[in-house]
Amino acid sequence: MFSIEPSRRNANGAGGEAGSDMSEVVLQQTAPPSTVADRTRVLSRLARTDHLFRHATRAAAVAVLVILGGVILSLIFGSLPAMQAFGFGFLISQSWNPVTENFGAAPAIYGTILTSVIAMLIAIPVGLGIAVFLTELCPHALRRPIGTAIELLAGIPSIIYGIWGLFVLAPFLQSHVQPALIAAFGDIPLFSTIFAGPPYGIGILTAGFILAIMVLPFVASISRDVFETVPPVLKEAASGIGCTTWEVMRYVVMPYTRVGVIGGVMLGLGRALGETMAVTFVIGNAHKISGSLLAPGTTISATIANEFTEAVGDLYTSALIELGLILFVITFIVLAVARYMLMRIEQKSA
């Protein structure tokens, strides 16, 4: 028999905690030795497991920081020769001549940012439209097949997108879309510059289309998932007072899920900034800045992929590594701005 009377006597009084401790003491004194030993072993094992789990998770977090720091230091040290040779002019120069070892990153930076902007301008409205259709308008029997088909786009290798873009999309744009754009905007002052030149098929606009298709699954899937987290009672209440589907999405769903939607958009933007092979196939790989979206161009990733194996000399290699450092900085700035926006939205919501 175990004695638990001290605990009962003090359960409702001020000495409840002391009574509980006394109960433990009495339990240890009256329990069989085998029971006390088993309990001690179990508690010791749980303590060791918790201690191991704490250190394992801490090591994982530290490992991420160490890897990130190693990448940054490697890029900085590898870029030092180019930094010393070209200085700040590397960022604004359009020259890229491996023979004379004169390099500039302006065309690659311009192409990276412009293609990503075009991709997001296409992918955001289309992705949000797909998410709205799947959550509000699509028949239930078709929601899963269509959603699965959208998500499968994210699993297609980028080189497949590049081959398809080179042999299918680029000829289609060259034959039908680009001549129509040139004819439609040729007499308008600003747009005549944006859509000037012969229809090459490949170029900045084609690369933007490819990137839009590649980031579309991220925007659509994440937006659909966060739209489904909206409590049905909120949408039913809005519909009950006469709101249309558009008004429900605009005034109820979007404000409720804007943090998740922005997160999905920034995830897609990060994919667009760093995409390599698909862009390399269709952008034209020309180291020059052109005001026309139909002209060939290049990106940071495409330049590194095309020329890293052919880089001869420390300065040439260092210039390519500095391009990688610039891409890292651009991506970091984009993610930092996204995080700041999310923090501001959360503060306003609170």
Can you give the CATH number for the domain in which 92 is found? Answer: 1.10.3720.10
The pLDDT value recorded for residue 325 is 93
Q: Please check whether residues 199 and 256 belong to one and the same domain.
A: yes
Closest by CA to 212, choosing from 119, 113, 117, is: 119
Alpha helical stretches, state H, the chain: 5-9, 16-30, 33-86, 89-92, 106-132, 140-152, 158-164, 170-172, 178-185, 189-194, 204-227, 232-240, 245-248, 254-274, 277-282, 300-307, 314-349
Residue 26, domain extent: 1-31
Q: Please check whether residues 224 and 262 belong to one and the same domain.
A: yes
CA dihedral 302, 303, 308, 309 (to 10 degrees): 70
Domain count, the chain: 3
Q: Please check whether residues 59 and 177 belong to one and the same domain.
A: no
The pLDDT value recorded for residue 136 is 87
Q: CA 281, CA 152: separation in Å to the nearest integer?
A: 22
Q: Please check whether residues 14 and 145 belong to one and the same domain.
A: no
Greater confidence, 346 or 45? 45
Each residue of 263-272: pLDDT tens digit? 888 888 888 8
The pLDDT value recorded for residue 66 is 95
Closest by CA to 164, choosing from 281, 51, 32, is: 281
Q: Is the dihedral of CA 288, 289, 291, 297 positive or negative?
A: positive
Q: Please check whether residues 232 and 271 belong to one and the same domain.
A: yes
pLDDT classification of 73: cutoffs 50, 70, 90: very high
The pLDDT value recorded for residue 10 is 44
pLDDT classification of 245: cutoffs 50, 70, 90: confident
Each residue of 90-106: pLDDT tens digit? 999 988 988 888 999 99
Q: Answer whether residue 3 shows pLDDT above 60.
A: no
Q: Is the dihedral of CA 25, 26, 27, 33 positive or negative?
A: positive
pLDDT classification of 322: cutoffs 50, 70, 90: very high
204-227 and 140-152 helices, crossing angle to 10°: 140
Q: Please check whether residues 74 and 201 belong to one and the same domain.
A: no
pLDDT classification of 335: cutoffs 50, 70, 90: confident
Q: CA 148, CA 134: separation in Å to the nearest integer?
A: 11
The pLDDT value recorded for residue 113 is 93
The DSSP symbol for 66 reads H
Q: CA 203, CA 189: separation in Å to the nearest integer?
A: 21
Residue carrying the six token digits 């991420």: 64
pLDDT classification of 112: cutoffs 50, 70, 90: very high
191-207 mean pLDDT: 89
- Where is the domain boundary, 86, 107, 129? 86
Q: Please check whether residues 158 and 207 belong to one and the same domain.
A: yes
Q: Answer whether residue 13 shows pLDDT above 70.
A: no
77 three-class SS: helix
Q: Please check whether residues 53 and 119 belong to one and the same domain.
A: no
Each residue of 290-319: pLDDT tens digit? 888 999 999 999 999 988 888 888 899 999
Q: Please check whether residues 194 and 66 belong to one and the same domain.
A: no
Closest by CA to 211, choosing from 328, 122, 300, is: 122
Q: CA 41, CA 47: separation in Å to the nearest integer?
A: 10
Q: Is the dihedral of CA 98, 101, 107, 112 positive or negative?
A: positive
Q: Please check whether residues 26 and 41 belong to one and the same domain.
A: no
Q: Answer whether residue 1 shows pLDDT above 50.
A: no
Q: Please check whether residues 97 and 119 belong to one and the same domain.
A: yes
pLDDT, averaged across the chain: 85
Q: Please check whether residues 108 and 256 belong to one and the same domain.
A: yes
The pLDDT value recorded for residue 22 is 46
Query: pTM to 2 decimals?
Result: 0.81
pLDDT classification of 336: cutoffs 50, 70, 90: confident
